[in-house]
Amino acid sequence: MFFKKLKKTSVLLLSLFIIPTSVLAYSDYLIPGGENIGIQIETSGVIVVGMYDVNGKNPAMDAGLKVGDIITKVNDEPVASIDDMVSKINTSKNEKISISYKRDGQVKSTTLEIFKDENSVYKTGLYVKDSITGIGTLSFIDPETKLFGALGHEIVEKNTGVLLEIQNGKIFETNVTSIDRSSSGTPGSKNAEFYLDSEQGTISENTESGIFGTYTEELPNKKLYKVAQVDDIQVGKATILTVLEGQNVQEYDINILKLNNSSSQKTKNILFEITDKALLEKTGGVVQGMSGSSIIQGDYIIGAVTHVVVDEPTRGYGIFITNMLEEAEN
């Protein structure tokens, strides 16, 4: 799962514009999620995740490159993957290559010295990554548009904290095999088998409010829940939908403690505690891989789980469903 530490300490469980509700195109009723999903994203460009010395030098550092930079071109030719990058380096006849890269939204360029080892393999001094795979939970499907939302927070590259720009992405079937329990200071996690060939949807957006895309399988035959506006949500009893074993979505009791409708807070809108004894016995609280789990109150879908409070894992945070839907519409 994808996570990042936050103050008191909280963890993301897998980086806008507010449009008036009256012009949004999402449906009034949604199919709730709860299904455990695999997530695979291929990035736009190649992310620098580390550096190493070559022949007593650090060529990447000498070139001014930093961890988190996204390489987009080699010798003025676009690169979309590590294979692209390696191919273009191997066809270079020079000991130096030109690199174009993105940093903080700006495009920059530099020259990188490369070295050939005794096996005629070029060494660049760069550790790079072009894709990421993990698990999370489906939050909703719009039955009219087949738009889906999941996670309730962004996916970042764990070594750099860089939000991943998507070139291609998909969600796919998984099977939860075990749970590592949460304890104070140590978030637990779901463990799952991946079925990469069992694609369920394509991902088009990775945003601070979740990942979004098109569900490509037959729609689940499930009860529809009305989209809750903020004024519809109450402090008190609610439930979450999630998978703890296999592919079996179950409903578990929680208690909503506090609501935060601040315009500056887009993901930690609902503070809740788990009250369900079966869930607590199995997980010890909120665990990684649970993010995106639908939050239900009465006949409303009100949000999705996003964070665990690390030093008190029976508590967690959720995002308002309207915040996810508004981001999905942009």
Catalytic-residue membership of 291: yes
Q: Which two tokens stand for residue 228?
A: 């809750």
* 291, 293, 294, 307: the active-site residue: 291
The kind and range of the H/E element at 324 are helix 321-329
Q: Cα separation of 157 and 39, whole Å?
A: 13
Burial class (CB in 10 A: 0-12, 13-18, 19+), 76: exposed
Find out whether 274 and 299 touch, Cβ atoms under 8 Å: no
Distance CA 204, CA 135 (A): 17
Could you confirm whether 44 is annotated as catalytic? no
Rounded to whole angstroms, the Cα distance separating 181 from 189 reads: 7
3-class SS shares of the chain: helix, strand, coil, % to 5: 10, 50, 40
Catalytic residue among 27, 142, 153, 293: 153
CA–CA distance, 137 with 304 (Å, rounded to integer): 9
**Element holding 307 (H helix, E strand):** strand 300-309
Q: What are the residue numbers of the active site?
A: 153, 276, 291
